[in-house]
Structure 1
């Protein structure tokens, strides 16, 4: 296998393990509530804090620490943050009896993981020619969905057999024993630095990559860039997407246990099946968007039906029908996932793509990733209903559809 594809597969593995570290807390909220005798209101508030504080730190890191990572280099940065996020995962288990310290571990985990995506984007830019860029990015991006599928089947049995703290320790070991050595042996900051790359592959990469856009003399100010109505609409849609996506990620396991009364086996399938559908949906929406050049309109329609599907999923009684409509929810929201960065890259000038996308990601996560789980938790705390908590996310789906409709009228892409 050529070195650039080896690197992409290694990055995929790091994404899977990092995302499992990120998701682990969503599987233990019920156990934590029993250990600490939390009321239903406390479950809503503290469960929301454990997820929202992570995304708050993650968004800040994405915006502010990326320049530091760029100075260190992608390889060294990724190796460092693998060590850090493994340590902070262990810290969450060690200090779980002190909620404030466990919350701190989530903040530190978010700060460390926030550098992961900017550094992988830098590697993709340097290693993959333009004609391969989507495939190169796609390999490691699909790690998110693999983690979402594997999560229930890996983490729930670990919790059942060994307890949730030992599950945290296993994830930390996976990072140190698998991700760290793989990055050390197979990831290099540039093709020129790789000691085992062939002359043919090196020449092919050098002919196909564009100059580093951050060195362009035509760079505009970020302030001026983010005054663009098109980018502001795109950013609003991204924040709303993060509210819905992270709200679902953070609360679906607890919803299925507390509101639906699922056992461990049922829970594993109820969580994994919808995200398994997302892998096929990515290819479907990508093909349709490229074929029709109506990515924004497709995302608008997709978000509208995401809201409809979510409402139906929460009203139905039997587990198979609930799971089917959660599958539709994930399939429809994927219409936006496949369009988001294509739209952002169309709006942001090439000379600012790295810094522009970094700030775009950070603001989107801060505005959406932190508030989505917190809003669900607040609704649960106020109403005592997990169904109402998840249902609150449907309103943001319809708002996102409206924002994307406005964007589609101004930008045909």
Structure 2
């Protein structure tokens, strides 16, 4: 027997606050768990024995082991959990990655650190596609840029903006172990109870796909993902992930190399992400109002990519930070919320979770791993983090061009395109 399908009016009193707000807070904590290592590395490397000549090499692996697990888990997690209730999946994931984060605070071994970071990557990788399932099931197509901003964007960038400001003083005052105890403890003490209370089963959602909850197996094909053009989205996401992770994994050390220390280092590390949060509100409204999501998202890669390429031409440390701030702020607010709306509106409903997992797994995991290692290796060869940033900037420009080409293909007559979900709109 099918569960009662609530109308949007019946569900409208809860999704934005209970669903969106809870997932926002959960995403905030998840990004604290991802970025705490970037803040803790100077002291942690001394305690675990890889300070000195091995620092750049071991740090690169320590930062990117998360992404290795994240890559595999996004892809497989999106596919294997598509018929599971996203609330239950999310609860298990938060519990496991929080325990792994707390465990790092107790360790004296590099190998335990790496294993815990892989567990963090696997569980957060399985968790990520569930957010797209919540956004598609609980919000109408006209609301999805704003919904994705709440569900996936604000928590992420608020954590990056406020996290460095909060975590850096905590690290300076109490050391790296307390940092991991606090960030892991937040998941167990705050997020798990919050999700248990506020998140609802997908069967109650107003925009859920009935086939997902039927006894009939839904087969996935390339057409389910929008046809061959889906590969353009994957490449675009690889490029954007290189920009995001290349800067995010290394920015505390980049800022330190530019002469900022203490609280000024925390502020300089945070301002790019604060700019993203401030710009996201007006850009999300413009995107939903104009439906020009492809153009806005493409410019969100093209312009920042060009700005990053020019970093070595600037001598002032303050101006370098300002350029990174403008690039990251504009990229994050323009690209990130729109790309998920485009994905959710261009794939079949049953492919929403798998598509999110494949794109985020290959893109964020693969692109992020490449970027993290690239910046570290370029630093070892040149003594500058900016050399790696320039290479990333070139790839990001190519990613923007790839998305524009995808948009052109989407404007083909409907008869020449694979069938999409029933709630899909014309993509511009």
User: After TM superposition, is the score higher than 0.5?
Assistant: yes
Per-residue CA deviations over 1:282-306 (Å, capped at 9, x if unaligned) read: 2343344445544333433332221
Q: CA RMSD in A?
A: 2.8
1:30 positional shift: 2.5
User: Residues 284 and 315 of structure 1: is their aligned pair in 2 closer, same or farther, counting only changes over 3 Å?
Assistant: farther
Question: Would you say how many aligned residue pairs link Structure 1 and Structure 2?
Answer: 396
**Whole-angstrom distance in 2 between the partners of 1:364 and 1:8:** 24
Partner of 1:275: 273
Does residue 63 of the first structure (1) align with residue 63 of the second (2)? no
1:373 positional shift: 0.9
**Of 283, 286, 299, which aligns to 2:284?**
286
User: Residues 250 and 407 of structure 1: is their aligned pair in 2 closer, same or farther, counting only changes over 3 Å?
Assistant: same
**Whole-angstrom distance in 2 between the partners of 1:396 and 1:383:** 20
Partner of 2:259: 261
Per-residue CA deviations over 1:113-166 (Å, capped at 9, x if unaligned) read: 122222233334444455555444432221111101111111101101100111
**Whole-angstrom distance in 2 between the partners of 1:368 and 1:190:** 31
**Whole-angstrom distance in 1 between the partners of 2:249 and 2:335:** 19
Greater mean deviation of Cα atoms: 336-345 or 53-62? 336-345
Greater mean deviation of Cα atoms: 5-14 or 153-162? 5-14
1:44 positional shift: 2.6
**Whole-angstrom distance in 2 between the partners of 1:325 and 1:313:** 7
**Whole-angstrom distance in 1 between the partners of 2:147 and 2:385:** 39
**Of 319, 322, 332, which aligns to 1:321?**
319
1:351 positional shift: 4.5
Partner of 1:330: 328
Q: Which runs of 5+ in 2 are unaligned?
A: 1-11, 412-427
Is contact 2:78–2:356 with CA below 8 Å preserved after alignment?
no
User: Residues 388 and 356 of structure 1: is their aligned pair in 2 closer, same or farther, counting only changes over 3 Å?
Assistant: closer
Q: TM-score, normalised by structure 1?
A: 0.86
Does residue 173 of the first structure (1) align with residue 185 of the second (2)? yes
Greater mean deviation of Cα atoms: 329-338 or 244-253? 329-338
Partner of 1:343: 342
Partner of 1:112: 123
Partner of 1:249: 248
Q: Which runs of 5+ in 1 are unaligned?
A: 193-204
User: Residues 63 and 212 of structure 1: is their aligned pair in 2 closer, same or farther, counting only changes over 3 Å?
Assistant: farther
1:329 positional shift: 0.7
Is contact 1:29–1:43 with CA below 8 Å preserved after alignment?
no
How does 1:18-167 map onto structure 2 within 5 Å? 18-35=30-47, 36-40=49-53, 42-66=54-78, 69=81, 73-95=85-107, 97-130=108-141, 132-141=143-152, 142-167=154-179
Per-residue CA deviations over 1:83-118 (Å, capped at 9, x if unaligned) read: 2111111222222x3222211111011111122222
Is contact 2:145–2:284 with CA below 8 Å preserved after alignment?
no
DSSP 3-state at the match of 1:229: coil
**Whole-angstrom distance in 2 between the partners of 1:131 and 1:266:** 41
Is contact 1:231–1:344 with CA below 8 Å preserved after alignment?
no
1:54 positional shift: 0.8
Structure with greater helix percent? 1
Is contact 2:87–2:201 with CA below 8 Å preserved after alignment?
yes
Is contact 1:61–1:115 with CA below 8 Å preserved after alignment?
yes
Is contact 2:133–2:352 with CA below 8 Å preserved after alignment?
no
Per-residue CA deviations over 1:194-249 (Å, capped at 9, x if unaligned) read: xxxxxxxxxxx64xx24335368795633555693321112111111111111111
DSSP 3-state at the match of 2:105: helix
DSSP 3-state at the match of 1:261: coil
Is contact 2:302–2:400 with CA below 8 Å preserved after alignment?
yes
DSSP 3-state at the match of 1:114: helix
Partner of 1:310: 308
1:28 positional shift: 2.0
**Whole-angstrom distance in 2 between the partners of 1:46 and 1:100:** 11
How does 1:363-382 map onto structure 2 within 5 Å? 363-382=362-381
Greater mean deviation of Cα atoms: 108-117 or 396-405? 396-405
**Whole-angstrom distance in 2 between the partners of 1:150 and 1:74:** 28
Is contact 1:56–1:365 with CA below 8 Å preserved after alignment?
no
Greater mean deviation of Cα atoms: 247-256 or 308-317? 308-317
Greater mean deviation of Cα atoms: 173-182 or 59-68? 59-68
Q: TM-score, normalised by structure 2?
A: 0.83
Does residue 188 of the first structure (1) align with residue 188 of the second (2)? no
